[in-house]
C-alpha cells in the first residue's frame, strides 16, 4: 500500500462512517424522504465525477420520449454562479445563461430543447417546482442523485467508471446494494467542426491546440491522439473550469504562442466560451454519446416507472 493511501485511511474511515450513518437514518426512517406524485429516476455515481452522467441523462430522456413520456431534468448545477432556483429551460426556450445554470445543466438544455431543466441547491425544491409549473411532465430525471436521499425515487441508477478501487469514493462500494441498476457505460467519442452554431462531423487535418476542463482529461487527449491529429499545445483545467476574462486571455496567449489556428475542446467547455473567443479560430469539438451492447435494463426502468 502506498504511503499516500495509508495516510488517507483515517480520513476515509471518518468520512465513510458519516456516510453510512446518514444512509442508516434514511433506511430506518429517522430521516424522511419527499415522495412526489410522478416518478423520479436518479442517475448518480460513487466516484467524484467522470462516469458519464451527463450523456446518460440526455440518452435516457430521449429514450423516455420515444416511449411517450414527457421528462424533465433537475440538477444541483454544480459550480454555477447563482444561488437560488433557476429554470434553465422551460421546454421551449433556454431561459438562463451558462453561468447561472452551470455547465452540465446548460449543455443538457441545449441537447434537449423540448425538456424542462431546473437547477437548485435543494433538488426537492427543483422537483416540486416541476410538478407545480409543468403539468404535462410525467417523469423527472434527477442528475447526480444517488447521494441525495431527501427525494424518493422509482429507479436508482449508478454509473461506474472502473476507478472504484482507488482513492476516496463518495460512498463505500457496499452502497451499490441500494441501487436498482448498476452500469458501466461504453462511451463513444466523435469529432465535429463547430460553425454557425452547428456541429458537423469533421476531423481536423491541420495542427490544433487542445484544451478542456473535465473530470478525466486523459480520455479527451488520448482520443485526439488516436485520430493522429497533430496537437501543437494543450491546456488541462480542473473540472467545471471557469473561463473568466483572465483565463481566456491566458488561453489566447498560449494558443497564439503555439502557432495553431485551430482549437479542439469538449461540448461541456464549448458552452462556456464566448463568441468573440471562438470566432478567432477554426473550432473542433469532441462529443460523447453512450452505447450499450445490452439495453434490456431499460425494461427495468420502464417497469419501475409504471409500478411507482
- So what's the architecture of 33-185+295-306 in CATH? 3-Layer(aba) Sandwich (3.40)
Lowest mean pLDDT among 40-49, 191-200, 202-211, 288-297: 288-297
At which residue does the C-alpha cell 427543483 appear?
126
pLDDT digits (tens, 9 = 90+) for 154-196: 999 999 887 665 667 898 888 999 999 999 888 899 999 999 9
- So what's the architecture of 187-290 in CATH? 3-Layer(aba) Sandwich (3.40)
- Examine the pLDDT at 237 and tell me if it is beyond 80: yes
Do residues 112 and 58 touch, judged by C-beta distance below 8 A? Answer: yes
Q: Where are the domains of the chain?
A: 33-185+295-306, 187-290
- Report angle CA 143, 146, 150 to the nearest 5 degrees: 95
| Phi, psi of 184, rounded to the nearest 5 degrees | -110, 115
265-276 exposure pattern, b = at least 16 Cβ within 10 A, e = fewer: bbbbbbbbbeee
The sign one gets for the Cα dihedral 62, 65, 69, 71 is: positive
CA dihedral 93, 98, 101, 107 (to 10 degrees): 70
At which residue does the C-alpha cell 462556456 appear?
272
Chain centroid, CA 70 distance in Å: 20
* Rounded Cα gap, residues 299 and 62, in angstroms: 15
**Among the listed residues 265, 271, 259, the one whose alpha carbon sits nearest the alpha carbon of residue 283:** 265
**Among the listed residues 155, 127, 132, the one whose alpha carbon sits nearest the alpha carbon of residue 43:** 155
Cell matching residue 297: 435494463
CA of 252: how far to CAs of 92, 233, 255, 263, in Å? Answer: 35, 12, 5, 10
The per-residue pLDDT of the chain, averaged, comes to 93
pLDDT digits (tens, 9 = 90+) for 67-121: 999 999 999 999 999 999 999 999 999 999 999 999 999 999 999 999 999 999 9
Q: What percent of the chain has pLDDT over 70?
A: 96
pLDDT, greater one: 171 or 231: 231
- Examine the pLDDT at 1 and tell me if it is beyond 60: no
Do residues 201 and 194 touch, judged by C-beta distance below 8 A? Answer: no
User: Any residues with CB less than 8 A from the CB of 156 and at least 6 apart, and which?
Assistant: 42, 44, 145, 146, 178, 179, 180, 181
The reply to whether domains 33-185+295-306 and 187-290 share a CATH topology is yes
| Phi, psi of 261, rounded to the nearest 5 degrees | -105, -5
**Among the listed residues 15, 300, 44, the one whose alpha carbon sits nearest the alpha carbon of residue 149:** 44
* Rounded Cα gap, residues 212 and 270, in angstroms: 9
Amino acid at each position: 500500500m502506498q504511503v499516500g493511501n495509508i495516510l488517507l485511511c483515517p480520513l476515509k474511515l471518518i468520512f465513510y462512517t458519516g456516510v453510512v450513518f446518514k444512509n442508516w437514518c434514511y433506511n430506518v426512517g429517522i430521516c424522511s424522504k419527499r415522495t412526489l406524485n410522478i416518478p423520479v429516476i436518479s442517475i448518480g455515481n460513487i466516484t467524484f465525477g467522470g462516469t458519464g452522467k451527463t450523456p446518460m441523462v440526455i440518452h435516457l430522456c430521449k429514450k423516455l420520449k420515444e416511449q411517450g413520456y414527457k421528462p424533465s431534468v433537475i440538477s444541483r448545477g454544480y459550480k454555477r454562479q447563482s444561488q437560488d432556483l433557476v429554470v434553465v429551460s422551460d421546454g421551449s426556450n433556454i431561459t438562463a445563461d451558462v453561468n447561472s445554470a452551470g455547465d452540465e445543466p446548460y449543455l443538457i438544455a441545449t441537447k434537449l430543447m423540448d425538456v424542462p431543466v431546473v437547477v437548485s441547491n435543494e433538488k426537492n425544491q427543483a422537483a416540486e417546482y416541476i410538478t407545480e409549473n409543468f403539468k404535462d411532465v410525467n417523469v423527472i430525471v434527477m442528475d447526480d442523485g444517488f447521494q441525495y436521499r431527501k427525494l424518493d425515487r422509482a429507479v436508482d441508477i449508478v454509473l461506474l467508471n472502473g476507478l472504484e478501487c482507488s482513492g476516496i469514493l463518495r460512498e463505500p462500494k457496499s452502497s451499490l446494494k441500494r441501487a436498482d441498476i448498476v452500469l458501466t457505460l461504453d462511451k463513444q467519442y466523435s469529432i465535429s467542426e463547430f460553425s454557425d452554431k452547428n456541429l458537423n462531423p469533421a476531423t481536423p487535418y491541420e495542427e490544433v491546440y487542445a484544451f478542456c476542463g473535465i473530470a478525466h482529461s486523459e480520455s479527451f487527449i488520448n482520443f485526439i491522439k488516436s485520430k493522429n491529429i497533430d496537437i501543437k499545445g494543450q491546456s488541462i483545467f480542473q473540472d467545471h473550469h471557469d473561463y473568466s476574462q483572465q483565463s481566456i486571455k491566458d488561453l489566447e496567449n498560449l494558443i497564439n504562442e503555439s502557432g495553431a489556428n485551430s482549437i479542439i475542446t469538449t461540448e461541456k467547455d464549448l458552452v462556456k466560451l464566448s463568441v468573440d473567443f471562438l470566432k478567432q479560430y477554426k473550432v473542433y469539438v469532441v462529443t460523447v454519446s453512450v452505447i450499450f451492447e445490452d439495453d434490456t435494463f431499460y425494461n427495468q426502468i420502464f417497469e419501475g416507472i409504471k409500478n411507482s
